[in-house]
Amino acid sequence: MRSHPKAGTQADRVFKALMKADGEWISGAYLLRDLYISQYHARICNLENRFGWIIEHSDGKDEFGFLSYRITDRLGPKPKPPMVVEYVGIDGVMHARLAGYTPPSNPQDTSIDATLF
């Protein structure tokens, strides 16, 4: 189940405007000029990434250069892919790494391998 932003926050005001529109497009100009939210795009990103809402961004801009937004899916957050860890022996020592990891082809590569932990 998706979560909702804290009442009274800018994210909450954007969320309520999108829900009230019931799937219709809301212009960024409305969010800026009527709701006085200058960083409305950041609040849209919060709703998508932090609260799990799927919000569609319009392909085109209006005559003033604003995108429009609408909530398109209310069924639940996108599930995160599971992290699968496998254990491998390297030089007689067991290491954990993400499943499907392929080591670098250049053994002299000195970059940090974030998948080994």
Per-residue pLDDT tens over the stretch 35-89: 999 999 999 999 999 988 999 999 888 888 899 999 986 545 554 555 555 566 6
Q: Does one domain contain both 63 and 17?
A: yes
Residue span of the structural domain in which 58 resides: 10-73
Question: Would residue 1 count as lying in a domain?
Answer: no
pTM: 0.60
Query: Tell me, what DSSP letter sits at residue 116?
Result: B
**Phi and psi of 6, rounded to 5°?**
-60, 140
Q: Is residue 26 part of a domain?
A: yes
Q: In what order do the strands lie in the sheet with 68-73?
A: 26-27, 68-73, 54-57
